Amino acid sequence: MKYPVLLPNIFGYPFTYNSKKKLDIGQYVKVPFGKAQITGLIWHKFEEDTKKIFRIKNILEEINTPKLNVKMLKFLEWFSEYNMIPLGMSLKLHLLSNEAIEEFDKKIYDHYLNNKIPKDFKFSQEQMDAIKKMESKTPGFRVHLLQGTTGSGKTLVYFNSVMEKVKKGLQALILLPEIGLTFEFEKKFVEFFGFNPAIWHSGISKKNKKIIWSGLANGKIKVVIGARSSLFLPFKNLGEIVVDEEHDQSFKQDEGVIYNARDMAIARAKFENIPINLISAVPSVETFQNIKNNKYSYSRLIKRYKNASLPKHEIINLREHKPPKKNFISPLTQEKVLNHLKKGDQVLFFINRRGYSPHVMCKNCLKVFSCLNCSINLVYHKRKDKLHCHYCGFTSSLERSCSKDKKCELIFSGPGVEKINEEVNNLFPNYKTQIFSSDTMSKKSSSLLLEKIINNKINILVGTQLISKGFHFPNLNCIVILDIDLSSYGHDLRASEKNLQLYHQLSGRAGREGKPATVYFQTYDLKSKTINTLTNDDPFIFLENEIKIRKKFNLPPFERFISLILTSHDSKKLYLQSVDIKNFLVKNIKIRVLGPVEAPIFRIKKKYRYRILLRSPKSINLQKKLSKLLKNFQIQPGVKLTVDVDPITFN
């Protein structure tokens, strides 16, 4: 008997195999493919083009794993069509290293069983009201937004919702944007539920991933806390999905298979016919528009947990209180910070740049240290005494012969966290400081550092945006924002939205235990709309205005954007190919085709990049039309075409 078998590869269709046994749709099997044996999935339909004649091989064996339910199978098919990727690559996201994992001995899953006594959490009246609104009146798919001030107890509200599903024997998925540093979140989870969640991200060992994959497929594991990739795990009986910090850009996968995990989570919930809860202090414009259109329900938490007050905001005028030469911290800021430190408050200096300096040049020959592989400046990291490219990983030393027959005299322009940390140590020598960035907090020691911060053994933090992502520091009552002027400008259509989300999250780190807290904005621009927007407690006011602007100019979510990114080592060939594909599209599809233009970062990893932007009404199924068209366009050897549906950045 013939069966269509989908394989985890670049092909967009299943292959036909024979088997004497009766097999079901969604069953995992081993099949020969070329000289290898690989895992495949019994698909629900054969390849459309049946004219091709191949020698049909036999299925080698069935894999002893519960079959994939048809709902998930349909989701993978839709995922492939929406994001314009080969069907086989969707399956690759689902399998673990191209394998389906068989069940282990039951004792292996004991770690995830109830083994602790849950802590008794008390809810405020506002939280109780939000819990009632979050409960679906009718079973099945629906999207609910829980919007709440940072520190208002949103986590406990959705924990309650997940607990209700677990009590019914269902499984749940909690998606987080920064999963690698959330030991504090895991601790709170165990206190609430009394059992361990499965943690899923790139840092988890292959052995543990096998246990989790099989445990979910067999219903032995109840809850997964995961990064983007956990969306494709084989849940036996998924009952709810939660997307925490739904606005966060980290949910966008921008390499390899490109997709937005938040949007795909909503789609998976729809295919599974289950509820999904989106959680945010400042929701995305897309989510807010769906609330306005009554597609999503919502609830709000206005008061902070334990009635803690929101931090005050103060502007420090840098025209009047200038920092000393080659410094970035105002004398007035120093005075304010010292007062906080004397009271026992923890202080955060925020600058959203890693390293010591983002720009290094020679005073004599005026040459800038730039990456050999990318069209971007190298960032100097003083701790390692190396220049780094944050795009390709290239490193270089500072030693270089000057073209003026002299030794290079180096100028370090612009501050990073290391430079600010150095300045902070000079200004406050009697206090302990710690840099909080992906360079310092991604190692095994990060949990120990977090404990020190929580226990107030570190007085001053110097951090990047990583610190805004859900951490609870009980003694943090002073935040100094150093780069508000630089982050307020740019050509990104989402810049205002991103800034609002970042700085709301950031200010929400302060004053969480009820003590008076202040956020200080150092700025030269006293008329800045950005600061006025950020200091407004109600983000819905900003979102209302942003929606009007987007609608006026037909920007997302009112139009569909699709980016085509063409890359090649040969810039001339790439340009000609980009023009050809643009002309081909203009001739064959009635939508706006903009470009080609050089990408803002024209060269990455030795490859040049051109971008084409397609704009169309959402009523048109653009992906389907575009997929058919591109099949008929011959891409030259040496040129790669990548499709980004619903792009959120344009680098």
Distance CA 628, CA 132 (A): 46
Res. 504 pLDDT band, cuts 50 70 90: confident
For 155, the token pair is 């986590």
The torsion angles phi and psi of 103, rounded to 5 degrees, stand at: -70, 140
Distance CA 418, CA 357 (A): 8
Question: What mean pLDDT comes out for the span 587-594?
Answer: 94
Query: Is the four-CA dihedral 200, 469, 287, 278 of positive or negative sign?
Result: positive
What's residue 181's pLDDT? Answer: 61
Asked whether the predicted pLDDT for residue 530 surpasses 80, the reply is: no
What's residue 529's pLDDT? Answer: 67
Res. 50 pLDDT band, cuts 50 70 90: low
For residue 94, the SS3 value is: helix
32, 54 Cβ separation under 8 angstroms? no
Asked whether the predicted pLDDT for residue 498 surpasses 90, the reply is: no
What's residue 595's pLDDT? Answer: 94
The torsion angles phi and psi of 301, rounded to 5 degrees, stand at: -115, 105
Environment class of residue 385 by beta-carbon count within 10 Å: exposed (0-12), middle (13-18) or buried (19+)? exposed
For 94, the token pair is 């689902």
For 8, the token pair is 């985890």
Torsion of CA 268, 273, 274, 278, to 10 degrees: 50
DSSP-assigned states of every residue in 196-230 = PPEEESTTS-HHHHHHHHHHHHTT---EEEE-GGG
Question: What mean pLDDT comes out for the span 108-128?
Answer: 89
The one-letter amino acid at 127: Q
What's residue 350's pLDDT? Answer: 94
97, 210 Cβ separation under 8 angstroms? no
Residues 6+ apart with CB under 8 A from 460: 337, 341, 346, 347, 348, 349, 424, 428, 431, 432, 433, 434
Question: What mean pLDDT comes out for the span 459-475?
Answer: 88
Poorest-pLDDT segment among 102-116, 246-260, 334-348, 440-454: 440-454
| Nearest alpha carbon to residue 75 among 48, 93, 96 | 93
Asked whether the predicted pLDDT for residue 404 surpasses 70, the reply is: no
Distance CA 126, CA 151 (A): 13
Going along 395-458, which residue ranges are E strands? 395-396, 410-413, 433-436
How far apart, in Å, are the Cα atoms of 356 and each of 133, 304, 451, 479? 47, 36, 26, 20
For 196, the token pair is 């361990």
The one-letter amino acid at 287: T
Distance CA 574, CA 637 (A): 10
| Nearest alpha carbon to residue 371 among 607, 571, 605 | 605
Residues 6+ apart with CB under 8 A from 357: 379, 380, 412, 413, 414, 415, 416, 419
CATH classification number, 307-546, choose in 3.40.50.300, 3.30.450.40, 1.10.3720.10, 3.30.300.30: 3.40.50.300
What is the rounded average pLDDT for all residues in the chain? 91
Per-range mean pLDDT, top range of 112-126, 139-153, 406-420: 139-153
The torsion angles phi and psi of 123, rounded to 5 degrees, stand at: -100, 145
For 619, the token pair is 């009523």
DSSP-assigned states of every residue in 523-588 = ES-TT-HHHHHHT-S-HHHHHHHHHHHHHHTT-TTSSEEEEEEEEES-HHHHHHHHHHHHHHHHHH
The torsion angles phi and psi of 437, rounded to 5 degrees, stand at: -145, 175
For residue 495, the SS3 value is: helix
Distance CA 127, CA 31 (A): 53
Helix/strand/coil percent split, the chain, to 5: 30, 25, 45
Mode of pairing for the β-strands spanning 410-413 and 171-175: unpaired
Distance CA 505, CA 285 (A): 16
Res. 528 pLDDT band, cuts 50 70 90: low
Going along 382-475, which residue ranges are E strands? 386-388, 395-396, 410-413, 433-436, 460-463
| Nearest alpha carbon to residue 196 among 216, 169, 224, 173 | 224
What's residue 180's pLDDT? Answer: 63
Interhelix angle 446-454/183-193, rounded to 10 degrees, is 70
The torsion angles phi and psi of 86, rounded to 5 degrees, stand at: -60, 145
Instruction: Please tell me if the domain spanning 106-305 has the same topology as the one spanning 560-645.
Output: no
CB-CB neighbours of 448 under 10 Å: 10
Mode of pairing for the β-strands spanning 259-260 and 518-523: unpaired
Per-range mean pLDDT, top range of 90-94, 135-139, 203-207, 379-383: 90-94
How far apart, in Å, are the Cα atoms of 600 and each of 237, 250, 252, 428, 610? 45, 20, 19, 40, 9
pLDDT tens-place string over residues 419-430: 999 999 999 999
Q: Hey, where are the domains in the chain? A: 2-68, 106-305, 307-546, 560-645
Q: Which CATH class is domain 106-305?
A: alpha beta
Question: What mean pLDDT comes out for the span 327-349?
Answer: 96
Distance CA 98, CA 33 (A): 13
| Nearest alpha carbon to residue 175 among 153, 152, 151, 201 | 201
| Nearest alpha carbon to residue 420 among 481, 366, 468 | 481
Distance CA 190, CA 193 (A): 5
Residue 466's DSSP bridge partners are none
Distance CA 449, CA 458 (A): 9
Residue 145's DSSP bridge partners are 278, 298
Distance CA 283, CA 563 (A): 24
Question: What mean pLDDT comes out for the span 270-290?
Answer: 97
pLDDT tens-place string over residues 353-399: 999 999 998 888 888 899 999 999 999 999 999 999 999 999 999 88
Question: What mean pLDDT comes out for the span 272-296?
Answer: 96
What's residue 642's pLDDT? Answer: 96
The residue written with tokens 């314009």 in the block is 84
Poorest-pLDDT segment among 30-39, 156-165, 304-313: 304-313
**Is the N-terminal amide bond of 32 cis, ω within 30° of 0?**
no
What's residue 538's pLDDT? Answer: 85
Asked whether the predicted pLDDT for residue 635 surpasses 80, the reply is: yes
- Topology adopted by domain 560-645: Alpha-Beta Plaits (3.30.70)
Question: What mean pLDDT comes out for the span 458-487?
Answer: 86
Mode of pairing for the β-strands spanning 259-260 and 252-253: antiparallel
What's residue 138's pLDDT? Answer: 79
DSSP 308: P
Distance CA 477, CA 280 (A): 22
What's residue 406's pLDDT? Answer: 73
Res. 201 pLDDT band, cuts 50 70 90: very high
Structural element, H or E, at residue 288: helix 285-292
User: Measured at the alpha carbon of residue 20, what is the angle toward residues 18 and 22, in degrees to the nearest 5?
Assistant: 100
CA 390 from chain centre, in angstroms, equals 17
| Nearest alpha carbon to residue 468 among 181, 207, 231 | 181
